[in-house]
Amino acid sequence: MDSPSAPVSGRWMNRSSPPHITTLVLIAGLAALNMNIILPSLPSMAVYFEADYALVALSISAYLGVTGVLQLFVGPLSDRFGRRPVMLVSLIVFGLATIGTLAAQTITTFLIFRLVQAAIATGLVLSRAVVRDIVGTDRAASMIGWVTMGMSLVPMVGPVLGGALDEMFGFHASFALTLAFGVIVGLIVYFDMGETNHNRSASITAQFRQYPDLVTSLRFWGYTLVATFASGAFFAFLGGGPYVATEVLHISPASLGLYFGIIAFGYMIGNFLSGVFSEKVGVNRMMLSGSIIAVAGMSFSLCLFLAGVFHPISLFGPMLFVGLGNGLTLPSANAGMVSVRPHLAGSASGLGGAVMIGGGAGLSAITGALLGPDTGPYPLLFMMLGSSFLSMLVSVYVIHVARIRAASANATSQAQHET
């Protein structure tokens, strides 16, 4: 069992100690809020900008793509310059971009500023890297579980707020809310987030030169692919869920926000269970358990629609189990990802996050493109089921490789003992 090398959480509002766990929740939560608060507003945004839904949906899929690319650089930058300065700069960029989305008068201008908003994805990368800076692998899975459990409250409430704000004031109100939240989080980060990276690389080029040590690790790719396929089901849902909900199931924006809360509620429960059991059960078995639950949930949803039960609960009810499964899988997969090479925790978090978000962006865009007036919900359901199934298969592979490594280590140890 790994032991922590530093206190799990620093003193509140003290820049000389690691950030308080609440601060980690807030920086990750702001990134999650900015991603999904506008989901119920996509149809009304298409009307406002007089643009096709597919073009407006780029505010989700292209945003995810830019997020993935940024994470390739955020991790190495934070390994070189520190977690704190990189986080503060990203918050400033995010605030300016959000002001731009509020002022935009055309869909092109809006999308440009929306993509710049992706700078806040730094919070997702650094919340994981900071955790790995201060604790060991299994403890990191537990702590990431607690962080993401708190963070999951934000996306659970976000679409509900976004739908209500859209009906009362229009979609601009959602961006005004994220701007206000960003200012508050920025102040908290400034006064609370002490530096945790005390083993910085000599230069940014030296940091990138260490990437081969990371990308040649099969364990790293195993954990990364588990996280990618597990989250891929959710990202496919982001790309196709609003369309199916409004065009197939005829749900209003406010009601859509409430239904979106179901998957976030399941995710929160899964993260709570991760926080409680990850240290005892281990990251690999937690990943497999979560993947199996997600596959079961999507299979149930598909069976309901094939049986002719076209009701919102047929889609969103099983989403509870997808959220629960992801809540069990992702903290452990992320902890494994950043623990393969502890001295490259930021780079691992960035590269792994880039693959995860990039894959999610692709699934989101493909799902949105496959859906149409004659398709029903099936492209969405099959995409989510397939992604969850692949996560389960890779989890089995990771466990298999771990057993081979353990057997090899035991054999080597026994041979040395005998000699």
pLDDT tens, position by position, for the chain (419 residues)?
343 333 445 567 777 778 888 888 888 889 888 988 888 888 889 889 998 887 898 898 788 888 878 877 887 888 888 889 999 999 999 999 999 999 999 999 999 999 999 999 898 888 878 887 777 656 766 777 777 666 666 666 777 788 889 889 999 999 999 999 999 999 999 999 888 877 776 666 766 677 787 888 888 899 999 999 998 898 888 778 888 888 889 888 778 777 877 887 888 888 888 888 887 888 899 999 999 999 999 999 999 999 999 999 999 999 999 999 998 998 889 888 877 777 777 778 778 877 887 787 788 778 888 888 888 999 999 999 999 999 999 999 999 888 887 777 676 666 666 66
**Per the domain annotation, does 140 fall within a domain?**
yes
Range(s) of the domain holding residue 258 = 21-409
**Per the domain annotation, does 132 fall within a domain?**
yes
Number of domains composing the chain: 1
Is there a contact between 34 and 178 (Cβ–Cβ < 8 Å)?
yes
**Per the domain annotation, does 7 fall within a domain?**
no
Is there a contact between 97 and 116 (Cβ–Cβ < 8 Å)?
yes
- pLDDT at site 7: 42
Whose CA is closest to 260, among 149, 373, 164? 164
- pLDDT at site 11: 65
**Per the domain annotation, does 235 fall within a domain?**
yes
Amino acid at 252: S
**Per the domain annotation, does 5 fall within a domain?**
no
- Dist. CA 56–CA 42, nearest whole Å: 7
**Per the domain annotation, does 419 fall within a domain?**
no
Instruction: Please enumerate in sequence order all residues whose Cβ is within 8 A of that of 103, keeping only pairs 6 or more positions apart, or say none.
Output: none
In what helix (H) or strand (E) does residue 373 lie, and over which residues does it extend? none
Q: pLDDT of 339-363, one tens digit each?
A: 777 777 777 877 887 788 778 778 8
- pLDDT at site 8: 47
**Per the domain annotation, does 105 fall within a domain?**
yes
Whose CA is closest to 64, among 369, 370, 362, 382? 362
Q: How many helical (H) and strand (E) elements, i.e. helices and strands, does the chain have?
A: 17, 0
- pTM attached to this predicted model: 0.71
- Dist. CA 238–CA 385, nearest whole Å: 14
**Per the domain annotation, does 6 fall within a domain?**
no
A 10 A CB-CB count for 75 gives: 31
In what helix (H) or strand (E) does residue 85 lie, and over which residues does it extend? helix 83-103
CATH number at residue 325: 1.20.1250.20
